[in-house]
Chain A
């Protein structure tokens, strides 16, 4: 069964550093998303991406964040200058219809 994959599984970085989180969505899906989950809390929407552009973003997704689909298979989330409060699990999701969204296993980002 097709799956969303994410790398790395765990990323430790120092405050102020740039990080890139990578995702390979399910191959025939057209809608892509990033969510985050601070430890013990609910999943929060960051951004959605369709037809090579951002379709919606949340207040969390400020100028420090960017997304890119550099080729036909990868979808990346970049945080330019990480802050302590960026520490969280980051989930990539994809959808064929924009409704049923399938999540990857997540990247745990730890900012020290």
Chain B
């Protein structure tokens, strides 16, 4: 089945640093979404990307939909302690399928 390779698996950073994580796939996706999950909670939608090359921001978060439609990255600028959590990329493939295929997540730890 379709798989998303998300990296890095985990990151340990200092408060104030910028963070970058990415997802790659062997197949094309029509839509990329980025979610954040806190322990014991459901994923919260951060950003949705709809077109190849699209660059979208949500506050300190910026995400891009790769030109090849097989990758996406998420940047977090000036990290703060509440950015701690697991960040998941998710893609919707061609053909009208609505299911989201999730990456394995990037666990972010921010040291104050």
Q: Which residue of B31, B40, B41 is within 8 Å of A99 (Cβ)?
A: B31
Q: A residues touching B (Cβ–Cβ < 8 Å)?
A: 4, 31, 33, 35, 41-45, 48, 50, 55-56, 58, 91, 95, 98-106, 108
Count contacts on B: residues with CB < 8 A to the other chain: 23
* Given A33-B98, A45-B100, 17 other A-B residues pairs in contact with their CB atoms under 8 A: A41-B104, A42-B88, A42-B103, A43-B43, A44-B102, A45-B101, A56-B99, A58-B99, A91-B42, A95-B98, A98-B98, A99-B48, A99-B50, A99-B98, A101-B45, A102-B45, A103-B43
Bound Cα distance A58, B99 (Å): 9
Q: Which residue of B44, B104, B105 is within 8 Å of A103 (Cβ)?
A: B44
Q: Which of B14-51 contact A (CB under 8 A)?
A: 31, 33, 35, 40-45, 48, 50
